[in-house]
């Protein structure tokens, strides 16, 4: 045993042990108190860098989750307004049906129905102009793609959703349109030559399930008038000439595959055979658009529509006039115009890439933009006569279909984009937090055991230091 008091190496060694034990116990106390195994970069530089980046992403995910909820509220605002528009259009259709039954209405009743229709049209336009999310109007066309027809004799209506061939439309572009399969309307040659006064004979036949009966005195004119009077039920009308011996044709009122003609005529009253069945053809077109300012083109097949209405997988629609629908030439039906700032774009990811943004075009639902048929829109029709009411019914039915399609597009966007993204983000955030916990959080059970061990070592080191100091006291006995 060395008796040195100047340097006292034994005491210094014991003091070092006390310092190390105290530092280790302090680290353990910090971990137990904060719950963090990596509380600063000195604890584990690599782990700290990874955990720090993950915390940034987790915070960004929290913001995007909140933003997605706001996006859902934005779409619910539009959906709520469209629900009221749907209700108004149902009321308008009822008024049109009532006004078509002119024999039971007085002029005052007819005028009252017409006034209601005009008020409904004004209300729909007011809803379009006043529906807002915050200060932004969302249904007046200012947040959607606008399709402008420049071929009025060829195009009845156009509507674009903002997506084309999987790309987001981001610039005003000219549409190139080629009919590759011409649309057609079903027709059947009547096969019988009845003049106005010709007697057709007694018998019965059916058109699309509707039964007609003739007597021995029924004339050709009465026969054709009978069929035309029931065209609303059968979807079929007769075209014939008044001259003696004229041949008649049955024509479907609907274009394409939805317009069928099924005739069963066992007595060959109407047609020359006992049965005939046919349907029209749905048109198919090749459409090309430069979807961005760089001039990149997308080519899309429009084969989802019926008759002379051409539609693609993204819901873009171009309805042609009858003359253009049967032509297979290439022409430019118009332009797709993108509003300033582009259509509605939602941030659904934490980065600034195309995959982190989604968009939807919100249509202009003003009455002047709904139900366009034959140059008329919802704002143009009236119910002042039975004939006008019948024309109004066609426009109203088309407006109902347009709003239903628009609502379906919004619902699809809510369910399969926003809601799906919310679920994916929630799972991603959960797993990210679990990873941060595995890297940076303290295992409290293991750390508590570690703390107990370090506490014992600290107390032991202090005791050893006390004993070391007594050795220096023993050296003094030698010089007394």
- Please tell me the predicted confidence (pLDDT) of residue 260: 93
Lowest mean pLDDT among 100-104, 106-110, 119-123, 254-258: 100-104
CA distances from 119 to 83, 111, 365 (A): 17, 12, 15
Spatial CA neighbour of 369 closest among 144, 43, 115, 97:
144
10, pLDDT greater than 80: no
More confident: 12 or 142: 142
Question: What CATH number labels 185-279?
Answer: 3.30.70
Contact (Cβ atoms closer than 8 angstroms) between residue 58 and residue 436: yes
Report which secondary-structure segment, H or E, holds 327.
none
Over range 403-421, report the average pLDDT. Answer: 88
CB contact at 8 A, 414 and 358: no
- Enter the DSSP assignment of 43: T
Weakest-pLDDT range from 5-14, 175-184, 225-234, 255-264: 5-14
> In this predicted structure, what is the pLDDT of residue 177?
94
Q: What is the mean pLDDT of the chain?
A: 82
Instruction: Say which residues have a Cβ less than 8 Å from residue 402's Cβ, sequence separation at least 6.
Output: 159, 363, 370, 371
pLDDT exceeds cutoff 90 at 94: yes
Task: Quickly state the pLDDT bin for 244 (edges 50, 70, 90).
Answer: very low
Read off the pLDDT of residues 48-83 as tens digits, 9 standing for 90 and up.
Answer: 666 677 777 778 888 888 888 898 999 999 999 999
Which residue is listed with tokens 């528009």?
85
Please tell me the predicted confidence (pLDDT) of residue 262: 95
Q: Residue 422: in which H helix or E strand, if any?
A: helix 420-440
Q: Is the pLDDT assigned to residue 116 strictly greater than 90? A: yes
pLDDT interval class at 279 (50, 70, 90): very high
Per-residue model confidence (pLDDT) at position 248 = 77
- Range of weakest confidence among 95-99, 106-110, 281-285, 370-374: 370-374
- Which pLDDT belongs to residue 412? 87
Weakest mean pLDDT among 190-199, 348-357, 462-471: 462-471
Which residue did the predictor score with more confidence, 159 or 243? 159
Does the pLDDT at position 26 exceed 70?
no
Position 449 confidence tier, pLDDT thresholds 50, 70, 90: low
Higher per-residue confidence, 312 vs 30: 312
- Domain locations along the chain: 185-279
CA atoms of 307 and 319, how far apart (whole Å):
9
In the predicted structure, residue 304 carries a pLDDT above the cut 50: yes
This prediction's pTM: 0.63
């Amino acid at each position: 045993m060395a008796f040195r008091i100047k340097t006292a190496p034994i005491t210094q060694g014991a003091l070092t042990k006390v310092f190390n034990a105290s530092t280790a116990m302090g680290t353990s106390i910090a971990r137990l108190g904060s719950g963090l195994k990596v509380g600063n970069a000195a604890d584990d530089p690599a782990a700290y860098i990874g955990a720090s980046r993950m915390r940034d992403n987790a915070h960004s995910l929290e913001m995007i989750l909140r933003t997605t909820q706001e996006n859902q509220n934005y779409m619910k605002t539009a959906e709520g307004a469209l629900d009221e528009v749907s209700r108004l259009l149902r009321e308008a259709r009822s008024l049109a049906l009532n006004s078509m039954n002119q024999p039971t209405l007085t002029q005052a009743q007819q005028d009252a129905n017409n006034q209601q229709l005009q008020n409904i049209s004004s209300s729909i336009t007011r809803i379009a102009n006043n529906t807002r999310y915050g200060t932004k109007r969302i249904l007046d066309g200012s947040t959607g793609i606008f399709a402008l027809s420049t071929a009025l004799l060829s195009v009845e209506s156009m509507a674009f959703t903002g997506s084309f061939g999987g790309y987001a439309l981001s610039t005003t572009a000219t549409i190139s349109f080629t009919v590759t399969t011409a649309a057609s309307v079903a027709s059947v040659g009547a096969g019988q030559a009845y003049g106005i006064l010709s007697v057709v004979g007694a018998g019965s036949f059916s058109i699309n399930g509707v039964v007609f009966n003739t007597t021995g005195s029924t004339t050709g004119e009465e026969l054709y008038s009978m069929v035309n009077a029931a065209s609303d039920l059968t979807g079929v009308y007769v075209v014939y000439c008044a001259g003696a011996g004229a041949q008649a044709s049955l024509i479907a009122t609907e274009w394409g595959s939805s317009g069928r003609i099924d005739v069963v005529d066992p007595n060959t009253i109407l047609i020359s055979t006992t049965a005939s069945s046919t349907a029209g053809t749905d048109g198919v077109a090749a459409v090309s658009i430069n979807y961005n300012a760089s001039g990149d083109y997308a080519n899309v097949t429009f084969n989802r529509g019926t008759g002379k209405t051409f539609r693609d997988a993204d819901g873009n629609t171009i309805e042609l006039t009858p003359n253009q629908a049967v032509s297979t030439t290439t022409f430019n039906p118009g332009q797709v115009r993108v509003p300033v700032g582009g259509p509605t774009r939602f941030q659904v990811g934490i980065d600034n890439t195309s995959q982190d943004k989604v968009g939807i075009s919100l249509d202009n639902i003003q009455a002047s933009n709904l139900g366009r048929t034959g140059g008329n829109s919802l704002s143009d029709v009236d119910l002042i006569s039975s004939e006008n009411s019948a024309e109004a019914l066609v426009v109203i039915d088309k407006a109902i279909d347009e709003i239903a399609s628009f609502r379906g597009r919004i619902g699809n966007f809510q369910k399969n984009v926003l809601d799906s993204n919310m679920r994916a983000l929630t799972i991603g955030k959960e797993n990210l937090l679990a990873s941060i916990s595995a890297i940076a959080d303290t295992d409290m059970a293991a750390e508590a055991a570690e703390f107990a061990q370090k506490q014992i070592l600290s107390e032991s080191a202090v005791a050893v230091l006390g004993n070391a100091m007594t050795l220096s006291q023993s050296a003094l006995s030698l010089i007394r």
